[in-house]
Structure 1
Amino acid sequence: MRAPELRGRGWLNTGGRDVTLADLRGKIVILDFWTFCCINCLHVLDELRPLEQQYGDALVVIGVHSPKFEHERDPKALAAAVERYGVHHPVVDDGDMHLWQQYAAKAWPTLAVIDPTGYLVASMAGEGHAEGLSRLIDELIEKHTADGTLHRGDGPYVPPPAPDTLLRFPGKAIELANGNLLVSDSTGHSVAELEADGETLVRRFGPFNEPQGLLQLPAEVASVAGYDVVVADTVNHQLRGVRLSDGEITLVAGSGRPWRSAVDEHPHDALAADLSSPWDLAWFDDKVIIAMAGIHQLWWFDPIKRTVGVYAGTTVESLRDGPIPDVWMAQPSGLSVGGDRLWIADSETSALRYIEAGVMHTAVGQGLFDFGHVDGPAKEALLQHPLGVAALPDGSVLIADTYNGAVRRYDPTADTVSTVDSGLAEPSDVLVTSTGDVLVVESAAHRLTRLAPGAVQSVTGERHRTERPPSPVAPGNLTLDVIFTPAPGQKLDTQFGPSTRLEVSASPPELLLSGAGVTTDLTRPLVINPDVPKGVLQVVAQAATCDVDVEFAACHLTRQDWGVPVVVTPDAPTRLPLILRGMDEA
């Protein structure tokens, strides 16, 4: 089919001009449907960068920003995100989700490939497509070079002017024993030590790759481990240790490969383990707890034994409480310890959660698609994509309510939420110093901000839901069909067991009368409850492939989580197709 025209509210990284498909004729085009809250979308940005470099004169990547959260509809917030995450290709603002619907996207991220003559030839969801894309691009280059329809040359990307500030999109902050502050200067790819004023630079450590979480180890642990501070080197998918006395940096966990296979709670060699976007760190239960944002889990790390394992979560992206091995989280991004509780900012469910005595509870938050800025009783209060949390001595908790531009306070005694400050620029962390000062990492303002004491506002605010177009499904029998075609030169890999895996659940659970659970078949018969008018089908699919006809065959894993809003309608389709990787090269 002909690719639909590229129409949006505006363009970034093009020098102010709109881009049309006619402008791209003769180029291979990858459309990357993303939203800047989504960790999987950020992973795909990293996967696309080598392809952009390798095929620069034949390939054009266009980011299509189709927002999930209300804050992401703000053009200024989008422009900041494009800089924050180093997006070096044109981006079209799809704020009204027009292109999302035109290209039938159902998940963040989704990739669509357009050939040099303007035809849509492939669509795929999730991560892990880089190798397959490379093979497809090679085939398209060969074909369209022979046909005379490939035109090499510069694309429409125009870089914006480079900024110059002390910090650039700082992420997290901690206080050192001497009163100085350590700040992860994420877009500066370093960790900055500042004096207590939060403005005077003492020194920098690095380089890292978009670092986030920081943790100073207990002194007795640090003396054995040989370093004082653990840094979540987020985009490198690793943890590094920093010795403060001389600035030496040591790799302490993570192979550098993004997570692609299961790890259990048992000890595993830390340096051999594949991590996935570690975002924050805390010392709890005599271990380093890692907010593993990329796979919706918490892991533990033992800096003395140099081992890691899973602490909580199953990798399913949703909200479910209970004993920690079985819980569901959605991009946990902030950690703080208060007494016997580990507090968690669970960003994609807009939730404040905590673990106590091996059980996870939700204090504030209602699910993947419910968010807003509402104070009052905790069961009614709403947050919007919080990234940071700080437990206070009185048992209450401060929340960096990032997309609401606010600091919120949860009072567990009254079970209420209030607003402490607002009008902040994407606060990503909150730090309470030894002197009682409250510092906010105001990420999009590139600074630390000291909050005035005492002021508490009451905000009625607005309630929001992510309103993606729901898929109509028939009550009763429904066939879920996850479509996967191996990339050119690959085949399904069964040497270590079944090559595919499909996990299905629903919210509310009553939506599914049967069909929930895990199987190895990508096609699943479901039974939809006719008495539940709407809900969300949560689908996790993965497929393992390997190269064929090569001496040293490589293995690949493609994976995607879908939260598919559905509306139960008589006479609706009895088949729900989801494309993990689909090809149409006719």
Structure 2
Amino acid sequence: MHEFPPGLTWFNVEKPLKMIDLIGKVVLIDFWTYSCINCIRMIPFLKYWYDTYNKYGFEIVGIHAPEFGFEKDSLNVENAIKNYDIPYPVVLDNNHRLWTVYDNRYWPAHYLHDAIGKLRYTHFGEGEYEKTEQMIRKLLEEKGVRIEEPMIPIKVPVDFTKIGSSETYLGYGRMVGFASPEELKHNTPQYYSIPPEIKKNRVYFEGMWKVDIDKSTLEKPEGKIAYRYSANKINLVMGSNHPVKALVLIDGEKLQIGNKGDDIDENGYLNIQEYKLYNLINTHNYYEVHTCKIIFFDAGIEVFAFTFG
């Protein structure tokens, strides 16, 4: 296990942790970032393991390593920790110092250490929940702990075999599938349009947008984004420095109770108040092809990536 550099911001601890504080415990290092859908889906499993095994000498340290600039804001991270009700220690790795030391490449990523600090198991991404829990129990038993609770089968929250769309970034640095007919311009406001035919797994802008390396910003009101996707859920990582109102449509129709996402209000509108992942559409385990269109009524919205579930 690697030492934590001094000067980092910590949450859920009385004082910054040091490696010596964790010797004698089985420790899971969890690399995550708060707007990552894969990380968000892991949080219930991490909380369950922490609640079940912490009393036996198991600890989790969440290393929050930002992907986007807004994730470096400690207040944003603190709010996310509260919203997800995360009980274990979290440290901000804004300059990816720990990320580099661990030679990490993924969100989420798990590094499981035994009671003497030796790395015994790694897993990258979602999945292998039972295997990870078995390793936690094995390492606890190695240090003489008798675990009373049986393992409880964990229901996987999403069927990855049925998702036909992949994460789509909206900054030119990693953008794939941009399909508005106008030429994509970097770092310069440009008017884009949505053609009559919208193809699957392509993203379209309409209105005056400025496309930067890791995001796109609406420069004037009444901008739109369209995406034809194949999944149960569609999410959009976005935010603004001031409130922005948007209307989300599915196949040209307003959302209803049976398909509106968690962040859509009772009238089918989206009120964007902070930088985070917003769930736009949820068809409740019906993995289907739909067209999502978002109409932003206010300028200043910054969009980063579509993700799916």
For this structure pair, what is the TM-score category when the shorter chain's length is used for normalisation?
0.5 to 0.7
Matched residues in 2 for 1:32 and 1:63: separation?
A: 5
Instruction: Report the secondary structure of 1:359's partner residue.
Output: coil
The answer on 1:405 being equivalent to 2:241 is yes
Change (3 A) 1:355 1:88: farther
**Larger Rg, first or second structure (1 or 2):** 1
User: Deviation at 1:396?
Assistant: 4.6
Q: Report the alpha carbon displacement of residue 102 of structure 1 after superposing the two structures with TM.
A: 0.6
Name the CA distance, whole Å, in 2 between partners of 1:362 and 1:64: 32
| Alignment partner, residue 33 of structure 1 | 31
**2:264 and 2:129 mapped to 1: Cα distance?**
36
**Secondary structure of residue in 2 paired with 1:23:** helix
Summarize the alignment of residues 171-250 of structure 1 with structure 2, pairs less than 5 Å apart: none
Q: Comparing 352-361 with 99-108, which one deviates more in the overlay?
A: 352-361
**Alignment match of 1:318 (pick from 146, 168, 174):** 168
**Structure 2 contact 4–98 (Cα < 8 Å) conserved:** yes
Report if aligned partners of 2:244, 2:273 keep a CA contact under 8 Å in 1: no
Structure-to-structure mapping, 1:409-448, within 5 angstroms: 440-442=271-273
Q: Within 2, Cα distance between the matches of 1:115 and 1:47?
A: 20
- Provide the residue aligned with 1:349 in structure 2: none
Could you tell me how far apart the structure 2 residues matched to 1:119 and 1:138 are?
A: 16
Change (3 A) 1:99 1:442: same
Alignment of 1:103-122 (within 5 A): 103-122=102-121
Per the TM alignment, residue 378 of structure 1 is displaced from its structure 2 partner at its CA by 3.1
Q: Are the equivalent residues in 1 in contact too, given 2:245–2:272 (CA < 8 A)?
A: no
Alpha-carbon distance between aligned partners in 2 of 1:429 and 1:133, rounded to the nearest angstrom: 31
Go from structure 1 to structure 2 and tell me whether the alpha carbon gap of 1:458 and 1:54 turns closer, same or farther (over 3 Å shift): closer
* More moved, 52-61 vs 25-34: 52-61
Specify the alignment match of 2:90 in structure 1: 91
1:262 aligned residue (146, 149, 161): 161
Matched with 1:65 is 64
Number of the residue aligned with 2:18:
20
CA, structure 1 residues 456+115, in 2 after alignment: closer, same or farther (shift >3 Å)?
closer
Does structure 1 retain, via aligned residues, the 8 Å contact 2:29–2:110? yes
Instruction: Tell me how large the CA RMSD over aligned residues is.
Output: 4.5
1:270-285 equivalences in 2 (<5 Å) = none
CA contact (8 A) 1:113 1:120 kept: yes
Q: Deviations over 1:233-278 (max 9, x none)?
A: xxxxxxxxxxxxxxxxxxxxxxx64224523xxxxxxxxxxxxxxx
C-alpha contact 2:240 2:272 (8 A) present in aligned 1: no
Bigger proportion of residues as helix: 2
Q: How many positions carry a matched residue from both structures?
A: 228
CA distance in 2, matches of 1:63, 1:383: 24
Cα displacement string for residues 162-195 of structure 1 (whole angstroms, at most 9, x for unaligned residues): xxxxxxxxxxxxxxxxxxxxxxxxxxxxxxxxxx
> Could you tell me how far apart the structure 2 residues matched to 1:380 and 1:136 are?
44
Pairwise CA distance, 1:362:
2.7
- The percentage of aligned residue pairs carrying the same residue is 23
Matched residues in 2 for 1:441 and 1:456: separation? 10
Deviations 1:390-422 (A, max 9, x none): xx9xx7549998334346799xxxxxxxxxxxx
Give the letter aligned to residue 80 of structure 1.
Answer: N
Q: Residue 50 of structure 1 aligns with which residue? A: 48
Q: Provide, for residues 365-408 of structure 1, a one-character-per-residue CA deviation record: whole Å limited to 9, x for no partner.
A: 9xxxxxxxxxx95364688499xx9xx9xx75499983343467
Shift in Å at residue 429 of structure 1?
6.2
1-structure distance, mates of 2:52, 2:70: 34
Q: Is the 8 A contact 1:12 1:92 kept in 2?
A: yes
Distance 2:270 2:123 in 1: 42
Closer/same/farther in 2, CA of residues 404 and 70 from structure 1, 3 Å limit? farther
Runs of at least 5 residues in structure 2 that lack an aligned partner in the other structure: 148-154, 171-175, 178-191, 227-235, 247-261, 276-296, 305-309
Report the Cα offset of residue 137 of structure 1. Answer: 1.9
Query: What SS does the corresponding residue of 1:55 show, helix, strand or coil?
Result: helix
Partner of 2:187 in structure 1? none
Aligned-partner Cα distance in 1 for 2:127–2:60: 17
CA shift for structure 1 position 104: 1.1
Q: Is the 8 Å Cα contact of residues 33 and 111 (structure 1) preserved in structure 2?
A: yes
Alignment of 1:312-461 (within 5 A): 314-318=164-168, 357-360=197-200, 361-364=202-205, 377-378=208-209, 380=211, 384=215, 396-397=223-224, 402-406=238-242, 440-442=271-273
Q: Which residue of 2 aligns with 1:161?
A: none
- The answer (yes or no) to whether the contact 2:24–2:115 under 8 Å persists in 1 is yes
Q: Which residue identity is paired with 2:92?
A: D
Give, as a single letter, the amino acid of the residue that structure 2 aligns with 1:32.
D
Q: Are residues 398 and 317 of structure 1, via their aligned partners in 2, closer, same or farther at CA, if it must alter by over 3 Å?
A: closer
Contact 2:240–2:273 (8 Å) recurs in 1: no
TM-score after normalising by structure 1: 0.33
Distance 1:9 1:261, change over 3 A: closer
Following the alignment from structure 2 to structure 1, what is the Cα–Cα distance between the partners of residues 27 and 141? 15
Measured in 2, the distance between the counterparts of 1:401 and 1:139 equals 38
Please say if residues 397 and 409 of structure 1, whose CA atoms lie closer than 8 Å, have aligned partners that are also in contact.
no
